Amino acid sequence: MHCDDAARALYAGENPSDLELHLSACDECRHLSDDLAQMNSAFALARVKWVPSPSFRVALPIAPWRRLAIAASLLVIPLAGWAAASVWSTRPNYDVASVLEPRATAEQTDRELLGALFLGEGQE
Amino acid sequence: MTEPELIRRSKGGSREAFGQLVSRYQVPVYRVVRGILGSPSESEDVAQEVFLKAYANLAKFRGESGFFTWLYRIAVNEALRARKRRAFANADDLPEVEAPPPPPAEEDAPTLATLEKLLRKLSDEFRSIVVLRDIEGMSYSDIAETLEIPIGTVESRLFRARQELRMLWRKSKEAKNAL
């Protein structure tokens, strides 16, 4: 076997029958074989050792419809709060019943009753 | 669930299905990126970008090639792009980014550190093909599909890449022995 053929076989990872014989007689090709074996060990190590850290996570982007839903809910919450606050602030701070039917709630004194009956007070 | 089913559901918008694809491929994708890029922390960022890009472009995946070759193609392209970005940034004002020194406690760290150092000296084309074949163990036809080159080119390029890497390996060994 010629050195070129041996080198070609070694680089291609092939093992023809006469390669061993050639390597036993050729220092140059044996060095090449040893180096490639070491390189292969390094590749095997890389396969095992090159892994992402345990904290590695792929954060996928949020789908457009979900983004819309989040935006909508972010809008709805303050709007609802504003609506509730405005309803609260427009509530009267007096008793509505006393305005609508003041007579129904306030007890008339005798003087008022007499005045209404005989003197016509409180009728205008 | 089978891979075609996961792909189909992912295309339909299922984040859970795509999450399963990520779990299946995150280690090999990281390894490809790491082999091309070198830096561990930067590789995680780029691996993340690879999956985001795949997720965004899933509709374009027609299943004519294997899903993993499609994903590896994105990984190779993103890693090379990140490398160019880094080289550009370094050329501007930053110092050359070197891999951190190997931790002395680990017995095999020097071998891996040597491999990383020597891979960085290869051209982009050679580094990519060595990583796909010798680290990932991909077939020639899958590499051809991933890199979009003919199989004959894969064979010849791999041969030359290994030749160059071996030459660098020998030099590195001789330099160590001389110390």
Element (H, E) at B146: helix B140-147
Cα B129 from chain centre: 9
Confidence of residue A64 (pLDDT cuts 50, 70, 90): low
In a mutagenesis test of the A interface, which of B108, B116, B131, B136 is the best target, namely the one with the most A β-carbons within 10 Å? B108
Judge contact between B121 and B17, C-beta under 8 A.
no
**ipTM entry:** 0.84
- CATH number, residue B31: 1.10.1740.10
pLDDT of residue A78: 84
Number of domains in chain B: 2
Question: In this complex, do A58 and B173 lie within 8 Å of one another by their Cβ atoms?
Answer: no
**Same domain, yes or no: B2 and B89:** yes
**Same domain, yes or no: B111 and B76:** no
Number of domains in chain A: 1
What integer is the mean pLDDT of B90-94?
60
- Please determine, for residue B87, whether its predicted confidence score (pLDDT) is greater than 80: no
- Please determine, for residue B148, whether its predicted confidence score (pLDDT) is greater than 80: yes
User: Of chain B residues 136-165, which have a CB less than 8 A from chain A?
Assistant: 136-137, 159, 162-163, 165
**Same domain, yes or no: B114 and B83:** no
Give residue A16's domain range: 3-49
**Same domain, yes or no: B61 and B124:** no
**Same domain, yes or no: B61 and B127:** no
Euclidean distance between CA atoms B55 and B11, whole angstroms: 8
**Same domain, yes or no: B79 and B148:** no
Measured N-to-C along each axis, helices B15-37 and B3-11 cross at an angle, to the nearest 10 degrees, of 110
Least trusted range by pLDDT, from B77-86, B97-106, B159-168: B97-106
What integer is the mean pLDDT of B118-136?
95
**Same domain, yes or no: B93 and B124:** no
**Same domain, yes or no: B2 and B50:** yes
**Same domain, yes or no: B116 and B49:** no
Identity at A57, one-letter amino acid code: R
**Same domain, yes or no: B92 and B13:** yes
**A64 occurs within a structural domain:** no
**A11 occurs within a structural domain:** yes
Closest CA to B71 of B14, B15, B115, B132: B132
Cα–Cα–Cα angle for A23, A24, A27, rounded to 5 degrees: 65
Residue B54, burial from CB neighbour count under 10 angstroms (0-12, 13-18, 19+): buried
Confidence of residue B105 (pLDDT cuts 50, 70, 90): very low
Name the domain boundary from B73, B97, B121: B97
Using CA coordinates, name the residue in chain A closest to B22.
A58
**Same domain, yes or no: B157 and B109:** yes
- CATH number, residue B133: 1.10.10.10
**A10 occurs within a structural domain:** yes
**A62 occurs within a structural domain:** no
| A21 CA: distance to closest CA in chain B (Å) | 22
Name the domain boundary from B34, B66, B97: B97
- Classify B81 as helix, strand or coil: helix
**Same domain, yes or no: B87 and B107:** no
**A38 occurs within a structural domain:** yes
Q: Which residue has the higher pLDDT, A84 or B77?
A: B77
Give residue B37's domain range: 1-97
Name the domain boundary from B97, B131, B166: B97
Euclidean distance between CA atoms A42 and A85, whole angstroms: 70
Euclidean distance between CA atoms B60 and B65, whole angstroms: 12
**A35 occurs within a structural domain:** yes
pLDDT of residue B17: 92
Residue A74, burial from CB neighbour count under 10 angstroms (0-12, 13-18, 19+): exposed
Using CA coordinates, name the residue in chain B closest to A63.
B13
